[in-house]
Structure 1
C-alpha cells in the first residue's frame, strides 16, 4: 500500500529530506505509526493487536521481507512503552531485565557496585546462555559494544544507551536469527524500535522512593515534534531526558543483608552461621590481612618472628576487643588486643548512584509518493559511581600479565619468586629506595632516623605490616558517552519491487575513574622514606595520600559502523499468496580499544594491588550477503527459507541457513516451527585481551575432609572452619587465545498458538539450542580437586597458593588463583518452553479486564567439557555455571502475570505478579554433583535449595483530562525481601539477578504525563 506525499512535494520539504537521506534498515522494522497496547503481545500470534502496527507493509524482527501479515514462523514478542507503564517500569532497560526469557548470567546495574568487570552497564541473557549470545539491535541495526567486556571477555551492547522516550516498541525474537543478522543471535534477538514520527509536545516526569525513605530516583523528559508524514510529507521531533537514581547501602536494609554477623542465619536443623565481622569475639583468627593495620616484630634477617602481632592503630574500628586466654593460647601470632569491624555495615553498597541524560532528534520525510527517507541522531551519557572497601596492603595482587598472582605473603616459606613480605624497616631516610624486605633500604643509623611507623625500631627489630587503610574507601566511577547517527531511504520501485538502504555509526567513549587504590611501588617508596603515617593515617596530607593512592583514569572506546541494503520482490501467486524474495548485502566495522588499567609490563610492583589487569584492543570488518524466500505453498501452509554468509577480516567465515514452516489448519490454531544454524564470533576480549581475574567464594564443596582436618573441621562442619577458609575466595584468572574458532549453533523451535474465542490466546513454544565449540574457561573442578588432595595439577592449569595462615603455619594454604586459557569446549545445550496467555473481556460497557501471563521454563542447560578436562556438567536449577553466571545461578522458571482493569478512558488499575524460580546450592563446575547441595556451607536458612521469589506490584493511572495523566505505583507492595542466599556473590546474602529490584523493598513512584 503506497502512501501519498503530494503535499510534501508541494511544500518543498523534499530537498531537505533528500539532503538527510542515507541510512538504515533501522527503518526496516518501524513502518507502523506510534501505537499503544494494553499488554505485551506476541505479534506472530495476535496480528490484529494495535501494538503490532497497522496494515502497512513492515519488516518483522528476524526477517528481511516486507509483509502485512505479522504471523511469522518465528515467535516474536512485542513490548510497548504502554506495557512498561502498566507495570510501573521506568526505563526500557528495566523492562528488558524483567523479560521471562531473561535468565541466569544477566548483568544488572546493581551488579556494578559489587565488582562487575563491565561496571556501569546492563545486559540481558536470553535462555541463560550469557550476555554475548543475545543480539541487541537499534532499529534493526547493530550498536557499538560496551567498551568493557562482561567478565573481561564477553562483548555486549549496554542497555543503558537506549533513548527511552523515543522507543516505540521492543520486539524480542525468541529463536536464533543468524540468517537475518549474523553473529551473536544464538539465543535470540532484541530489536529496539524508535518512533517513526511524533506530533505535539509531551512532558513526562516520575519520582520514586522506598518506604524506608531511601533509594530515591527521579526522571524528567520532554519530546516535541512537528509535521505529519501522511499530510505534510515530513515529521521532525526532538527529545531529551534526565534520570537520577541515588545509591543504597547495605546498612539501610534489614538483617541479615546489613551485616557480616551471621549468628542468627540458621539452617532448618539449627546450624547457624558465624560472626564474620573482622576480629569478632567469636573469630578463630585475628591475623587476617583484611582487618585493621597490625604489625609483628621480626629479627634483622626478616626470617624469625619475635613476638605477636599488635594493633598499629584503631582507625575504622567499631569496637575494641581483648582476646581471651584460650584465643591467645590457640595462636602464637594473635595480638593481645584488637578491634572489630563490620565491613558490610560500614561499606557495603547495594545499588550505585546512577545518572543518565540524553538528547535525540529525528527527521522523516517523503522523497516521492512511494519513497521515504530519514535521519536520526542520539546522544546519551550514563554515569555510575559507588564507594568500595578501603584498600588492603598485604594480600595477593590480582593476577597480572608477566607476574600472575604476585604475592605479598607474610610467610617466607610460602613466597613465590618475585613476591615479598611487606616490612617496615628500622631506619628511614629521604633517599630510601622501595625495598619491602626491610633488609636494605639504603638507610642506617648514620644517614637515617628511626622509623616512626615501626614500634619495634628502638629494639632494632623489623615490623611486618598488614591490614586495611581504613582512613579512605575506594571509589569507582564510569562515565559512558554514546553517540549514534543513522540515515536511511526505503520504498517501492514498482508495485512489486521494494528496497531498503541504511547506514549507521555509533561511538562509545568511556572514562573509568578509580580512587583510593594503593600503587605497590609508591607504597614501598613511602615505607622506605617514612613519608606516610601508618600510625595515624588521618594526619597524612592530601599530597601524601595521592602519592600512595594515585587516581587512575582509564579511557576506553568502541565503534560500530554499518552499511546495509536489501531488495525485495513479490514474484508470482501461489495457492496461499504471493511468493516473496529478498536479497541483501552489508558491511560493518567494529572496534574496541580498552587498555589495561593495571598491567605489570615494568615489573610486579609497577601496578596496583587489587585492580584487574584485563584490557583489550581489536578491530575487524565484516562483509555479508543474505537472502530470504517466503512461499505460501498452500492456503494453510507457509514455508520460509533464509541464508546468510559472513566473512571476517580476521579470517573467520560462516554460513547460516534457516528454515521455518507455519501451518494453520483452522482459524483458531496456528502451528509453527523453525530450524537454523548460527554462530558467535570470538569476542575481542576472548581472542585478544590481557588476563582477567574474577573471584569465586569458597564453598564447602571445593574441599575434602583430609584437607580441612588441618584446620580442625570437616566438610560437614564447614561453618566451624576458620574464616581464613570459610569467608575467602579464589581468583579465577582467564587467559585469552587468538586461536579460538567461532562457536557454532543449531537451533529449532516448535510451537502452537490457540485462540478458541476472540480475545483469548494461548501460545506454547519449545526451543532447543545446541552450541558446539563453546568458548569457555576449562572447568575449575580438576584443578581444585588436585590441589586439595595433594595430586599433580593437570596440564593446562596454573595454580598459585595463598599466603600461609599465621594461625596455622604448618597447614597447606588455601588456593589463591587458578589460571587457564580459554578454549573451544565440546558442546552446550539448552532446551525449554515459553508460555504466553492473553485475554481481554468487557465486564460492562465501561469496564474492561485484560490479562497477560508470560513465563519461560528451562528444561535443561548443560555443557559437555570432556575435551577440556571435565565431564558433563548440568546447570539448570543450580548456582552454576560459575564461569558464565558469576555464581548467580540458572533458575528454571522466570515470568510475570499482569492483570488490569480499565474504567472508561479515565482510570486504570494494574497488578503484576513477578516470579523468579529457586535453585539448588550446587555447581558442577565447582566440583559438585548435580543438585547435591555441594556449595551449602551448612547454615543456609532454606537448606539446600533457595526458594522461589515472588513480588506483587500495583499500578494506577488516572486521566485528569485529555492532556494530563497521573500515575501511582507501588512495587513489591508486600515488602517481600529476597530469599537469603549465603553462597551467591555479586551481592551480600541474596542473588543479584533473582532479587535485584526486590531488595529495595516496598517502593513507591508517582508520575505524570502532559500532552500539548
Structure 2
C-alpha cells in the first residue's frame, strides 16, 4: 500500500468513525476518585475542549513521562482501563483484561497455551503490535517488575501477568508508543503500567462463582479489603487486602465437536471432508492406511537376534487383553499389502477425546498491605507489600515409549543373542532382549531368565517395542510465588522543585513439578531386569512406576531490585505555559536462575524422554540517567523532548531519544505525534542459555517428491494422505544456541494521530504507528537448511541438521529431520505498522438514566521481517510469523465495543469482542508460498482457506440494593459462539488458542455480590 493510499484510508476512516459498523473497543476512561472517595490520578487522553474548559485539577504524572502536569492529553496515545470498566465487562483478572487489549496481537501467551509443558509453563504475557512478549514493558506503579524465570520459546524475557495483585489495582494505563526514553529496555511496542490504589477506607469485598452452561469450567473468586485513615483529614491511610481465585480444568471431551476429537470427517465443504486423524482410524471410505504405533497399547515386532531383520509384523504385546482405549480393526489383505509394518490387528485411539485438556486448573491467592502518610506539608511517603501465589496443573498424554521420537538422545538398542551377547545402549529402535537378569548387563541363559515381556524370547528373537505407558499420564504443574516490596517518597523542596524517590525489590520463586515422564536410564534398567510389566502395565506397583517415571522437581527464581530518583522544575513561563524540566537516575539489578529440568550433563541416558530441557542463568546491573523537557511554546502548540542513557554491566550501552508534539488549532481538535528510538536488551536466555528446542510440524506438503516417494510411490507433496504417519504426524526440533556477543535490538518508531471532540463527552481518536526494529535477534530461517537436507545437498554454513532414526517401516529411506541447530545472531529487520481507532461517549439522559459507549479497534497494515539476504516475509492476516506465534497468527483486525445503560439502581453492559480472520498461510514455513495463498491448508482443502472472523458478546447486569450491597450476573459469550475451525494452528485442537481462548468454553454464567462499608 502506498503512502497516499494509507493517508486516504486514515482520512476516510475518521469521517466514517461515527457511523462505522462495529469494529469494537475497550473503554478508555479513568476513574475520578478511588473507592475511598479521594483524588485519583488520571491518564485518559482528554480532548482539546476538556483541556481548554475543564478545571485544571491536581497535577499528575502520565505513563511515559516523569513530569507532573495538569494536561492529560499527551502526544503519545494512551489507553486507560479502570477497575470500574473491567468490572462492568465481567473481567475478573488483570491478565485477562490485558489479553483482550485490541493492540495485543501475534505471539501473546495465554494461560491455556503455556500450561501444557511449554517453555514458559503456566505464565501469561502480552504482545503489543505483534512484536512479541519481549518488546512490551510491564510496570507496577511505574516501576519495573522481575522477569518470569522461564523464557518465552526459550529465548524471550517477559513479565508474567499472573503476578499482578488484581484486588488492589485501580487502573491499567497502556502507552501505545515507544518509551525507551523514559523506561529503557523492552519498551519498543509500548508499556503496560498497572497502577494500584493510593488509599482505601472502610471494608469491601466480593464473593463470586461461575460455570459454563454445560456444567464445567467452574470458577470461584473471593476478595476482602479493609483500610483506615484519610490522607487529607488524618494525614495517613493504611489498608490490607487479600484474594482467592480458582478455576477448574476443562477437557476436550467436555466441549462440542469438532474440538473434542481427532476425527475431522465431520468438517466438510462442497469439495471434500477432513481426514480421520484418530490413531489408526479408518478413512471416510472405511479403509486403513499406515499403522501408527503411538497408542496406549504396546506393540512388538519380532527381529532376529542381531536386531537387523524383521521376522514378522507388529503385534499387540497382550492380544488377550485387546485394545485399552478404543476399538480395534482387523486389517484386510489389501490393507496389509500397504506396508510390511502394518499389523494384522490395529488398536484405534482418539487421544484428543480421551486425554486432551483445553484449560489447566488454576489457583491463585495472595495479599497486599500499604501504608501511606503525609510527611510535613509538602511530601507523601508510602510502603507497599505484595505476596501472590499462582498455580497451574495440566495433564497430557500417557508417557511415550516408541520406536522413534524427537528426544535429542541416542535411543537404546539391545542386541542380545541366545548365546549371551551384552545388552548395550546405542542408536536404534527400543528393543526387548531375550534374557533379563538382576545385574542388567551380560544377561544370558546362565545368569538370567527368558524375558517375560518378550513373546519371542523362547525362539531367541528380540522384540522391538513401541507404544505408551497406559498406566502413566504425563502431568505438568507450576507454582509461582512472588514477593514484592516498594517504597517511596514524593513532594516539593526548595519551594518549586518536585522530587520523587522510589525503591522496589521483587523475587519470583518458581517450582516446576512433572510426573509421568520416562527417565531413559531407568527404562533401560527395567527392560534389562524385567521388573516392569509391559504385558499388563496396570499390575505394576507404585514403586515400579515411580522408578520408571520419577517425579521431577525443578526450582527456578528471578530477582529485580531498583532504586530511582526524579527531579522536576518549572524553569520559566512560555506563551503557552511553564517550561518544565525533569531529570532522573536509576540503578537496578536483575537476575535469573533457571536450571534445566532435563539436562544431559551426565550423559544422554541420564534424562527424560520429551521433557523440556530449557535452562539459563545470569545477572546484570543497569545504570541509567534520563531527562525530559516539556515546552508549551504557545497555547496551541506543545513540544516534549526526552532521552535516556542505559549502561549494562554485561557490556552494552545505548541512548534512547524521543520527541513528541501536540497541536490544538481549535478547541475541538488536537493533532499529536511522536518520534522515538528504543532498544531491547538481549535476554539472559539469548546470551547464555542451554540450547533450546521448539518443535514445529514437518509439513510434508513442502518436501520434494524425490524424498517423499521413498515412502511409497503415492506419497507426494500434493497427496500427503498417502504418506505414512512417520511423515504426516511428525515434528522436528529447531534448536537455538545462545550467543554472549549479541548486541541490543534497536528500534525506530513514530506515531501520528488526532483527537476530535465535536461536542462535549463525545470523542474520536485515530492514531497511526510505524515501528522498525533492526538487528533483531534470531536464528536464521531454517528453510534453506531443510531444503538442502531433503534434496541431498550440502548444508549451508551456520547450520547443523540432525537426522531422526529411520522409519521402522522404511529402514532404507532417507530419514526425516529430527533437529536443525543454529546460533542466535543480530540479523533481521522487523516492521510493524498500523492504525488504532477509538470512539467514546457519555450521556446523561435524565437524572436517573445514563448511557455510555466506547469503541476501540486496531488494524495492522504491515508486520514483516526482512532478512540479511534482502528477502522479506509478510505475516499480517496470516498464521505467520508461524515460528514466533506458535501458529496463532496475526489477524489484521482486533477490537471491542462496550455499551453501558444505567437506570438507577440497575446497570446493564454489553461488550462485543472482535477477532479478525486470517489466511492459512505463513511465509516463514517451508513450502507455504506467499502470504495469502493458503499454503498451509490441507490437501484436499476440506475447510475454507481463510479462518473466519470471530465475534462474541458479553452481558453484565447489576443491581445496587443500597449503598452497601450490589448483586450482579454475568453472561459471557451470550450467543454461545464457538471459535472458527482452524486445522493448522497447533496451540489447541482445531481452534486458535489466542483467538478463542475464552470462547471455547461456550456460554458461561457468573454471579456474585459486592459489599462496601
Fold agreement, TM-score > 0.5: yes
| Residue 317 of structure 1, CA deviation | 2.6
Alignment of 1:943 with 2:944, yes or no, is: yes
Counterpart position of 1:863: 865
Q: Measured at CA, do residues 101 and 738 of structure 1 come closer, stay the same or move farther in structure 2, by a change above 3 Å?
A: same
Greater displacement, 642-651 / 949-958:
949-958
In 1: Cα distance, 2:411 partner to 2:775 partner: 35
CA distance in 1, matches of 2:689, 2:982: 33
How far 1:780 sits from its partner (Å)? 2.1
Structure 2 equivalent of residue 604 of structure 1: 604
Deviation for aligned residue 1:817: 1.8
Residues 581, 627 of structure 1: 8 Å contact kept: yes
Unaligned runs of 5+ in 2: 1-29, 417-423
Aligned to 1:666: 666
Q: Distance in 2 between matches of 1:686 and 1:30?
A: 41
For the Cα contact (< 8 Å) 1:396–1:816, is it kept in 2? no
Q: What SS does structure 1 have at the residue aligned with 2:727?
A: helix
Alpha-carbon separation, structure 1, partners of 2:564 and 2:226: 30
Conservation of the 8 A alpha-carbon contact between 2:919 and 2:946: yes
Name the SS of the counterpart of 2:279 in structure 1.
coil
Matched, 1:420 2:428: yes
CA separation of 1:521 and 1:46: change in aligned 2, threshold 3 A: farther
Structure 2 counterpart SS, 1:326: helix
Aligned-residue CA RMSD in angstroms?
A: 2.3
1:318 alignment counterpart:
326
- The 2-side partners of 1:889 and 1:357 are apart by 33
Residues 960 and 572 of structure 1: CA distance in aligned 2, closer, same or farther (over 3 Å) = same
Q: Which runs of 5+ in 1 are unaligned?
A: 1-28, 434-441
Corresponding residue number in structure 2 for 1:998 = 999
Alignment of 1:280-429 (within 5 A): 280=282, 282-290=287-295, 292-313=297-318, 314=322, 316-394=324-402, 398=406, 404=408, 406-407=410-411, 418-429=426-437
Q: Is the 8 A contact 2:245 2:365 kept in 1?
A: yes
CA distance in 2, matches of 1:409, 1:444: 17
Map of 1:138 onto structure 2: 140
* Structure 2 residue aligned with 1:76: 78
Structure 2 contact 756–763 (Cα < 8 Å) conserved: yes
Distance 1:1009 1:395, change over 3 A: farther
State the partner residue of 1:439: none
Q: CA offset at residue 35 of structure 1?
A: 8.5
Deviation, 1:115, is 3.4
Contact 1:920 1:931 in 2 (8 A): yes
Give the Å deviation of 1:886: 0.9
User: In the alignment, which residue of structure 2 is the partner of 1:270?
Assistant: 272
Where in structure 2 are the equivalents of 1:481-496 lying within 5 Å? 481-496=481-496
Contact 1:687 1:738 (C-alpha < 8 Å) held by counterparts: yes
CA apart distance, 1:757: 0.8
C-alpha distance in structure 1 between counterparts of 2:470 and 2:535, whole Å = 12
SS in 2 for 1:149: coil
Q: Secondary structure at the match of 1:866?
A: coil
Partner of 1:923: 922
User: Aligned to 1:820, what secondary structure does the other structure show?
Assistant: strand
Find the aligned partners of 2:995 and 2:662 in 1 and give their Cα distance.
Answer: 36
**Contact 1:183/1:678 (8 A) holds in 2:** yes
Q: CA deviation at 1:32?
A: 7.0
Match of 1:244 in 2: 246
- Structure 1 segment 825-844 matched on structure 2, within 5 A: 825-844=827-846
How far did residue 398 of structure 1 move?
5.0
Is the 1:748–1:767 Cα contact (8 Å) retained in structure 2? yes
**Cα distance 1:952–1:94, how it changes in 2: closer, same or farther (>3 A)?**
same
**Which of these residues, 708, 731, 734, is aligned with residue 733 of structure 2?**
731
CA distance in 2, matches of 1:186, 1:275: 42
Task: Determine the structure 1 residue equivalent to 2:768.
Answer: 766
Report what 2:87 is aligned to. Answer: 85
Deviations 1:473-503 (A, max 9, x none): 1111000000000010000114421100010
| Structure 2 counterpart of 1:119 | 121
Residue of structure 2 in register with 1:908 after alignment = 907
| CA 1:97–1:939: 2 relative to 1, 3 Å | farther
The 1-side partners of 2:312 and 2:356 are apart by: 34
Greater shift in the superposed pair: 799-808 or 673-682: 799-808
More displaced 10-residue stretch of structure 1: 223-232 or 928-937: 928-937
Q: Which whole-Å CA distance do the structure 2 matches of 1:909 and 1:1001 have between them?
A: 21
Is the contact between residue 292 and residue 467 of structure 1 (CA under 8 Å) also seen in structure 2? yes
Alpha-carbon distance between aligned partners in 1 of 2:324 and 2:57, rounded to the nearest angstrom: 67
Q: In structure 2, which of residues 777, 780, 788 is the aligned counterpart of residue 778 of structure 1?
A: 780
Cα distance in 2 for partners of 1:915, 1:420 equals 50
CA distance in 2 between partners of 1:190 and 1:699 (Å): 37
TM-score (structure 1 length as normaliser): 0.92
Q: Is the 8 A contact 1:44 1:74 kept in 2?
A: no
Deviation at 1:348, TM superposition (A): 0.3
Question: For 1:192, which of 187, 191, 194 is the aligned residue?
Answer: 194
Q: Whole-Å Cα distance in 2 between the matches of residues 646 and 339 of structure 1?
A: 61
Rounded to whole Å, the distance in 2 between the matches of 1:445 and 1:53 is: 97
TM-score (norm 2): 0.92
| Matched-pair contact (CA < 8 Å) for 2:403–2:465 | no
Distance 1:895 1:397 in 2: 42
1:447 aligned counterpart, secondary structure: coil
3-state SS of 1:633 partner: strand
Alpha-carbon distance, 1:417 to partner:
11
The answer to whether the Cα contact below 8 Å between 1:274 and 1:282 also exists between their aligned partners in 2 is no
Q: Deviation per CA, 1:130-181, whole angstroms, max 9, x where unpaired?
A: 0000000000000011111111111100000111110010000000000100
Give the match for residue 986 of structure 2.
985
* CA distance 1:173–1:406, shift in 2 (3 Å): farther
What is the CA–CA distance in structure 2 between the aligned matches of 1:149 and 1:290, rounded to whole Å?
Answer: 32
User: The residue matched to 2:68 in structure 1 has which SS?
Assistant: coil
Q: Which stretch of the first structure deviates more once superposed, 551-560 or 605-614?
A: 605-614
Alpha-carbon contact 1:831-1:860 (below 8 Å) kept? yes
The 3-state SS of whatever aligns with 1:773 is: strand
1:21-53 deviations in whole A, cap 9, x for unaligned? xxxxxxxx9997558999x9843548969xx99
Q: 1:411 to 1:817 in 2, by over 3 A?
A: farther
Residue aligned with 2:546, SS: helix
In structure 2, what is the equivalent of residue 956 of structure 1?
957
**Which residue in the other structure is 2:13 paired with?**
none
Contact 1:204 1:221 in 2 (8 A): yes
Q: CA deviation at 1:397?
A: 5.7
Q: Is the 8 A contact 2:119 2:150 kept in 1?
A: yes
Measure the CA separation in 1 of the matches of 2:561 and 2:277.
54
After superposition, the C-alpha distances for 1:436-473 in whole angstroms (9 at most, x for unaligned) are: xxxxxx11111111110000011111111111111111
Contact 1:411 1:421 in 2 (8 A): no
Partner of 2:648: 648
